[in-house]
Structure 1
């Protein structure tokens, strides 16, 4: 059997699966988990795919690219994701506290045997799961003036202004981006939708990975992901499978044609 993932009306990918292990409908999302020999397992949450054997790679990449670009991050918000492994990687940095915003608890609990550090993350005193709707959470935090140094917003949205207001004065926000080669016009629109007060707005991607969804935008009020990379912090991380300083830097290297098309829109 084959699992087909459609990215747009012109492009789709297929993954070989053996059987369906679980199907659950949550409050807002649906999850299906499949047995897939090449990937260890595949979790399909609405239109988002997670690969059991490779979820660590994606998590390292997102967590450490953000943290190693900020001089002294202390508080991180992860939203729009069920991937607790991102929190696990963030918590490797001992001064960081992680808030994980996810309302759909039924779907999250379905991943208890899929994510390798599920319970370890929940038990960490520096981790807080916030089972709230995003609009409620944003309103409450704006009123409390409780800013984050880093926000990982990992689902596509049309308006990022409310999340910008949750950032500290030197904060970094990483968001999903349409594919830079397959959907360049939509990537440009996403860049244009970001607040003009971001001093840095740079697209980047996950090198040597097969999921076409792994394109992002690094939006920062102060720090530059290349000029300000904390090399000592990046090099001191141990027992990683994917992330390192040179890979961090290479993720922001774009083809010449793409760089030309983003002139005047990206800020670097």
Structure 2
């Protein structure tokens, strides 16, 4: 897969769903491309950290609009993400393949403690990540002007945004009650 597709989808989907994404946290051990994409949103204050629970636990409560994580996670990590995410914030995280149903259902049960909306979305190569939101729905609350006015993108646009959330019936049936939309 082209790296720019992954980076654009990881960043612009949650940022363009947020009402005003001013504070973005990227949790990654290789965040260069994600940071570059987040920097396209000139109104955003960007913070990049490596995945260390100590670093996350030192962050202020309710200080981020969007958190993007590429790091393996557990319930303690998600509780810290919830603590630093604003009340209307979005969180995007990597997860096991949707074919690993049991692992994903366990993960979604944990995430459901903190988020009203949990939806997988395609990031361009039939891989998915999880979009989690406390308030905004990724297809109902997309900021169309923001999504289509970002300069220099190679892949992402508002049509791709909507299409990324389309899932086949076998996934809908398998995850009925776990995907919260």
Same fold (TM over 0.5): yes
Q: Greater strand percent: which structure?
A: 1
Which whole-Å CA distance do the structure 1 matches of 2:115 and 2:61 have between them? 19
Shift of the 61–261 alpha-carbon distance from structure 1 to 2, 3 Å rule, reads same
Matched with 1:169 is 87
The answer as to whether partners of 2:31 and 2:48 remain within 8 angstroms in 1 is: no
The answer as to whether partners of 1:202 and 1:219 remain within 8 angstroms in 2 is: yes
Which whole-Å CA distance do the structure 2 matches of 1:252 and 1:258 have between them? 12
Which whole-Å CA distance do the structure 1 matches of 2:62 and 2:85 have between them? 9
Which whole-Å CA distance do the structure 2 matches of 1:80 and 1:193 have between them? 21
Q: Greater helix percent: which structure?
A: 2
Stretches of 4+ moved more than 6 A in 1?
Answer: none
Which whole-Å CA distance do the structure 1 matches of 2:122 and 2:97 have between them? 9
The answer as to whether partners of 1:67 and 1:73 remain within 8 angstroms in 2 is: yes
Q: TM-score, normalised by structure 1?
A: 0.63
SS at match of 1:60: helix
Q: Relative contact order (C-alpha < 8 Å, sep 6+): which is higher?
A: 2
Q: TM-score, normalised by structure 2?
A: 0.92
Q: Structure 1 residue 61 and structure 2 residue 9: aligned?
A: yes
Number of aligned positions between the proteins: 179
SS at match of 2:115: coil
Which whole-Å CA distance do the structure 2 matches of 1:186 and 1:215 have between them? 14
Matched with 1:238 is 151
SS at match of 1:198: coil
The answer as to whether partners of 2:28 and 2:48 remain within 8 angstroms in 1 is: no
Matches within 5 A, 1:47-86: 54-86=2-34
The answer as to whether partners of 1:90 and 1:96 remain within 8 angstroms in 2 is: yes
Matches within 5 A, 1:19-58: 54-58=2-6
Q: Structure 1 residue 187 and structure 2 residue 104: aligned?
A: yes
1:198-233 Cα distance to aligned partner (Å, 9 max, x none): 1111111213x2xx6x32111101010000011111
Shift of the 161–146 alpha-carbon distance from structure 1 to 2, 3 Å rule, reads closer
Which whole-Å CA distance do the structure 2 matches of 1:146 and 1:258 have between them? 33
The answer as to whether partners of 1:191 and 1:217 remain within 8 angstroms in 2 is: no
Could you list the runs of 5+ residues in structure 2 that have no partner in the other structure? none
Could you list the runs of 5+ residues in structure 1 that have no partner in the other structure? 1-50, 103-132
The answer as to whether partners of 1:164 and 1:195 remain within 8 angstroms in 2 is: no
